[in-house]
Amino acid sequence: MYSVLTVEDRKNNPLYREFTCDTVADLQDLPTNQPHEDEYGRNTHKERCATGSVAIVIETSDVYMLNSSGEWKKL
């Protein structure tokens, strides 16, 4: 499970997000900056977020950042 933290006054990049996750496995459920396809190969309108968005994993106290390839990388 993950939560989106409110990020106020982000006029330069409104897609920037900060997340908290219970476990590392929850990172796979987070939105990325890459297009998503449904089971029929059609692009969907799944929520996206900007490169540089951050996720904090509570279980391990690790911080991850979204890179330009859509991967959550540990800092």
- Summarised one tens digit per residue, pLDDT across range 31-67 is 898 877 777 776 665 678 889 999 999 999 999 999 9
pLDDT for the residue numbered 13: 73
pLDDT at 30 over 60: yes
Task: Report the predicted TM-score, pTM, of the whole model to 2 decimal places.
Answer: 0.76
Higher-scoring residue by pLDDT: 4, 64: 64
How many whole angstroms separate alpha carbon 34 and alpha carbon 5?
Answer: 21
Query: 15: which residues sit within 8 A by CB, 6+ positions away?
Result: 33, 48, 49, 50, 53
